[in-house]
Amino acid sequence: MDLATAGLKTTDHDGVIRVDFIERNILDEANIQLIGDGLNQIIESNDRPRILICFENVEHLSSAALGALITVSNRVGSKEGQLRLSDINDQILEVFRITRLDQMFQIHGTAAEAMASFS
Amino acid sequence: MADSPEHQDDRNGSDSLRRGVLVLHDVRSELDGIQTKVVAGIRDAGYDEASTFAVRLALEEAVANAFRHGNDEDPRKAVKVEFDISGDRIWLAVEDEGSGFDPTAVPDPTEEANLEIPSGRGIMLMRAYMTDVAIVAPGNRVEMTFRPNG
């Protein structure tokens, strides 16, 4: 699968894969299946994946996107990898807080801070 | 109980933008169109971005639930969305063709044991972001109201 089809762009930073959403600023029912498939492809193509998902420019998401992120987190964990999220705006961060998922994910203010946290 | 829309002679607003009935058969291909119409009405009524975010999220959760759980993702079945937007409140109703459900039987997604489950957060988010949420018996219709001052 071409990740661009899923609206994903990946860059490698010393073995950490940074994932950005390039096409849409809305993660919802319309596109989350494709995004989930793309993220799964990234996970499966790495032995112990270290992945940063950057939410810069993402303005809206729904519980479907949260579910996809949980699935990603579970899969990364099963491969002894690491997952970080960054650049989440205040409104979306509030969704994470309300659902208590801010306690499940390692969330950083910036990509630079997230990168520094990988071991 | 969320209140129902009253007939309003809205000479000062964009009537066609602010109220209507929309029908959806597949959330994956039609949700964007629904959201665009409702958000246009919300913005036309002068609500801020935080309000738009809240209502948009609650609407998506309700529509997704209706499609997935109410209609079992069957595109032959319809999800009906009603909306009525005024300056002091936004009213939405979402109805599917299913047999309903018991909202008291939905597990709390914020409990520790449920955090890693990918689904089950829709109703919680609706209740968190809307001022009133009423699930109308037998459970295939939800009516929600947003008031900017809570």
User: Per-residue pLDDT tens for A62-112?
Assistant: 999 999 999 999 999 999 999 999 999 999 999 999 999 999 999 999 999
Task: Name every residue in A having a CB less than 8 A away from some CB of B.
Answer: 28-30, 33, 60, 62-64, 66-68, 70-71, 73-74, 91, 95, 98-101, 103-104
pLDDT digits (tens, 9 = 90+) for B48-101: 999 999 999 999 999 999 999 999 999 999 999 999 999 999 999 999 999 998
pTM of the model: 0.89
**B10 has pLDDT over 60:** no
User: Which tens digits make up the pLDDT trace of B130-143?
Assistant: 999 999 999 999 99
Q: What percent of chain B has pLDDT over 70?
A: 91
CATH hierarchy code of domain A3-116: 3.30.750.24
Q: Where are the domains of chain B?
A: 18-146
The H or E element containing residue B94 is strand B90-95
Q: Hey, are the CB atoms on B118 and A67 less than 8 Å from each other?
A: yes
Q: What are the structural domain ranges in chain A?
A: 3-116
Q: What is the mean pLDDT of residues A38-47?
A: 92
Position A31 scores a pLDDT of: 83
**Looking at domain B18-146, which CATH architecture does it have?**
2-Layer Sandwich (3.30)
Q: What is the mean pLDDT of residues B27-50?
A: 94
Give the separation between CA A102 and CA A89, rounded to whole angstroms.
Answer: 13
For B63, name the nearest residue in chain A, comparing CA atoms only: A29
Q: What are phi and psi of A56, to 5 degrees?
A: -55, 130
Residues contacting A70, CB < 8 A, separation 6+: A101, A104, B115, B116, B117, B118
Q: Is the pLDDT of residue B127 over 70?
A: yes
How far from chain centre, in Å, is Cα A32?
Answer: 12
* Contact present, B95 and B137 (Cβ < 8 Å): no
Distance CA(B98)–CA(B78), nearest Å, equals 10
Mean pLDDT score of chain B: 89
Inter-chain touch B60–A28, beta carbons under 8 Å: yes
What pLDDT, in 10s, does the model give residues B14-35?
678 999 999 999 998 999 999 9
Q: Scanning every residue of chain B, which has its alpha carbon at the shortest distance from the alpha carbon of A99?
A: B110
Q: Cα(first)–Cα(last) distance of chain A, in Å? A: 29
